[in-house]
Structures are given as structure tokens and as C-alpha cells.
Amino acid sequence: MSKPRPKKLPGIYIHIPFCKQACSYCDFYFKTRQQLLQPFTDALENEILSYQNSPFSRLPVQTIYIGGGTPSLLNESQLEQIFSAMQNVFRLEPLEVTMELNPDDVTSSYLKMIRSFGVDRASMGVQTFQSEILEFMHRAHNRNEALHALEALRTTGFPSFTADLIYGNPNQPLSMLEEDIRQLLEFNPPHISAYSLTIEPKTRLGKQVELGRIEPPDDEIVSEHSDLLYNLLGDAGIHQYEVSNYAKPGKEAIHNSSYWSHQNYLGFGPSAHSFWWDDDNSRTAMRWQNRADLKFYLKNKSGDIQTDQEELDLHTLAEERLMMALRTTEGISMKELEKTYAYQFSEKQIEFISGQIQQNTITKSEDWLRLTREGLKISDLLLVDLLSRG
């Protein structure tokens, strides 16, 4: 595949497609056959090295994100292989190097080891401290492991971290969520990602819901959970800056935020996406994906693992930017939409926005449009409505 000519390369994403077991709600791409972890690391090294002497390799990289799957299944020599390959190929000048960790893999020595490779932000998959909900989620870790992992972050003085929480679980009373939040706050987290449980059709949970064995919680309860998070985290100085993300001022995620503003990134590993927008005057951008197929990835010697290359025109990019920006508390500047994306709202959209301003789900201040707190809670519905009028 011919790669577009790059201008800047802010981000690298690496997908580690292995987990100990399948969580009941998860539809990410991963395998549980961990004996393939070393052959996978070799293939990943090859994929990264295939960018040597490409125009991409001369550009400064500002963020690295190692996600999955479960990156904390990687041992020291595998991480050494991956970081050395990146160092050989790219100009690494990172402001943020994040690695996702599962609590059952985390010890102080593991944290010190990943720190030695430059990882300065741990993303801890806590989800909840409640044993019965962890079991319901079919997580590999238990409550004590979550507590020990967070304690290890504190005792090793890890520079920064974020913790994931999942709320809106069936039969999860508000008091349980409150316990989770208060427990997490004891570790003084700079950043929290809190997701409302989503029922994906091909997951174990999706099947149970389909069979009528589990009843998803109703919207009102989910909304109460969301309010509780917003209020308790806000009281602790951890503010919502995106539908699912909360941070202390200045601790917002740099890598993930760059996705929302169409910054370029390269993704490595099976199922990883890359995005490229050549320069501000270009009227198209490219997005491509590696096949979500570990077998193919392991066999591949030629670098031909990319598929689904998609050319995105300005209108598509504008709609994407609108969707992503309106999920943030910063919102979107209409001047930016016009200047960068040549996008203007249609009359029907203007009418819709005015109606929503009356209903207090959208605010307009000078050139900026933002969803209100109530609007953020129903952002998916609002955004579909807004775009369908374009």
C-alpha cells in the first residue's frame, strides 16, 4: 500500500492483542493463547522496523500509547524489543508514554521496569472494587489486586496514572458506585476514565442480555450514576473534560485528546488504526487499519498487513470532528469548522441547535458550541440528530 506523505507524527499506538481471559463486556480484538506472545513481539518489531527510512521516521513523536488487550503481559525483554525498534525508527520526543496495565500483573518491580523504558503514565484497568461485579465482568483480577496495584503506583512514585471505572452495571446500587469512587480517590488519581457499561452484541454479556438472563439498567439509573461520578470527582478537583474522561487541571490525556482533534498517528499490531492528514490545505485524509487477524499478522513477512484503507473527504472529516469535539467540554469553534473543514451548519441544523439551547442541552458562546452537562449525558442521541439534519 502506498503511504501518504506525512507532515507531522504526534502519536504512536501499539496494540497488544492478548488477555488472560475474556471479560464479559469486551469486544476488543485479543486472543488468550499467550504462548504466541513472543512470536507476536517479533512480528511487531518487524512491523515497526518496516517504517525505517520512510518519511514518517524523521518526524518527532510526542505520545506513545501501548494498549490492548493486556500490555502488562509483556515481559522486560519483549518491552526492550518494542522500545528499541521504536527508538531505531522514529524520533521519539515524547511528552507522554502511556501503558495499559491490569492490576493482577502489577508489582513494584514491574512498575520500575516499565519506568526504565520511559513509560510515565500507567492506565490501570480497575473497573470496580466490588468482588461480585468483578466476577460478573469476568475480570482476571480481584479487589485486593486492584488495591495493591494502586498502592504500588503510590510507593514507587509513578509519575502519573489514570484508572478505568465502569458504572451502570446491572444491579449495581448507587452506594456501590459511591464506595468505588471514594476508594479510588484515596489514591489521589490525576485522571479517571469512567465508562457506562455498554452491551456489545458478540460478547458474553450481549448474549446473556439477548437470552433475557440479564436486564440492562434503565437510563435513569445510569444517569444517576453519571451524576454521582461528576459530583464526587468534581468535589475532589477532578473535572469532566470529555463524556468519559475526568482529570485534574493539566492532567488531561494528551494521546487520546489528539484523536479528537484529528492529529496524525500510526497504529501497530493487529486491528490497529492509523490516521493521516497531510497538511491543513489538503482536502482529504487517510485512515487505514491492520487486519484484526493474529495468524495473518504472525505469518506476514512483507509488511502487507494493512487493509481497509479509506480516503476521508472534508465533509466526513467535519462530521467526525463535530462528533468528537462536542463530546468534550471545550466544544467546537464554528470558525474552525469553516476554516479547516469548509463546513457550515444547514438551516435545519441551526434550527435544531436553537431548540436544544432552549432545552439547555447545548450552549453557544460567541463562536463556540458546547454541550451542557445534561447534553453530555445524551450526547450520542444529540449528535446523531444534529448530523442527520446536515
Q: Give the residues lining the site for ligand SF4 (CB under 6 A).
A: 19, 22-23, 26, 28, 30, 68-70, 102, 125
The rounded distance, in Å, linking the Cα atoms of 175 and 63 is 37
What is the closest distance, in whole angstroms, from the C-beta atom of residue 263 to ligand SF4 in the complex? Answer: 24
The residue among 143 and 248 lying less far from ligand SF4, judged by its C-beta, is 143
Q: How far apart are the first and last CA of the chain?
A: 33
What is the closest distance, in whole angstroms, from the C-beta atom of residue 140 to ligand SF4 in the complex? Answer: 7
What is the closest distance, in whole angstroms, from the C-beta atom of residue 145 to ligand SF4 in the complex? Answer: 13
- With contact defined as beta carbons under 8 Å apart, do 225 and 219 qualify? no
The residue among 149 and 353 lying less far from ligand SF4, judged by its C-beta, is 149
- The grid cell for 279 is 497538511
Of 134, 249, 126, nearest to 193 by C-alpha is 126
Q: Are strands 121-127 and 191-196 parallel, antiparallel or unpaired?
A: unpaired
Residue 54 to residues 3, 156, 206, 207, 258: CA-CA distances in angstroms? 9, 38, 43, 45, 23
Question: CB neighbours of 102 closer than 8 A, spacing ≥ 6?
Answer: 20, 70, 72, 125, 140, 141
The residue among 62 and 169 lying less far from ligand SF4, judged by its C-beta, is 169
Exposure class string for 28-43: b at 16+ Cβ within 10 A, else e: ebbbeeeebbeebbeb
Q: Dump the DSSP string for 13-56.
A: EEEE-B-SS--TT--S--B--GGGHHHHHHHHHHHHHTTTTSGG
According to DSSP, residue 130 is labeled -
The residue among 141 and 255 lying less far from ligand SF4, judged by its C-beta, is 141
What is the closest distance, in whole angstroms, from the C-beta atom of residue 283 to ligand SF4 in the complex? Answer: 36
The residue among 26 and 36 lying less far from ligand SF4, judged by its C-beta, is 26
Which residue in this structure is represented by grid cell 467535519?
318
The residue among 61 and 137 lying less far from ligand SF4, judged by its C-beta, is 137
The rounded distance, in Å, linking the Cα atoms of 140 and 126 is 11
What is the closest distance, in whole angstroms, from the C-beta atom of residue 63 to ligand SF4 in the complex? Answer: 20
What is the closest distance, in whole angstroms, from the C-beta atom of residue 7 to ligand SF4 in the complex? Answer: 32
The residue among 127 and 274 lying less far from ligand SF4, judged by its C-beta, is 127
Residue 61 to residues 86, 254, 271: CA-CA distances in angstroms? 10, 12, 21
The residue among 29 and 51 lying less far from ligand SF4, judged by its C-beta, is 29
Q: Which amino acid is at 213?
A: R
The residue among 26 and 37 lying less far from ligand SF4, judged by its C-beta, is 26
- With contact defined as beta carbons under 8 Å apart, do 179 and 146 qualify? no
Q: Which amino acid is at 348?
A: K
Q: Dump the DSSP string for 45-114.
A: HHHHHTTTTSGGGGSEEEEEEEEES-GGG--HHHHHHHHHHHHHHSEEEEEEEEEEE-GGG--HHHHHHH
What is the closest distance, in whole angstroms, from the C-beta atom of residue 232 to ligand SF4 in the complex? Answer: 24
Q: Which uninterrupted H or E stretch holds 216? A: none
The residue among 23 and 376 lying less far from ligand SF4, judged by its C-beta, is 23
What is the closest distance, in whole angstroms, from the C-beta atom of residue 22 to ligand SF4 in the complex? Answer: 5
What is the closest distance, in whole angstroms, from the C-beta atom of residue 358 to ligand SF4 in the complex? Answer: 40
What is the closest distance, in whole angstroms, from the C-beta atom of residue 246 to ligand SF4 in the complex? Answer: 20
Under DSSP, is residue 293 helix (H, G, I), strand (E, B) or coil? coil
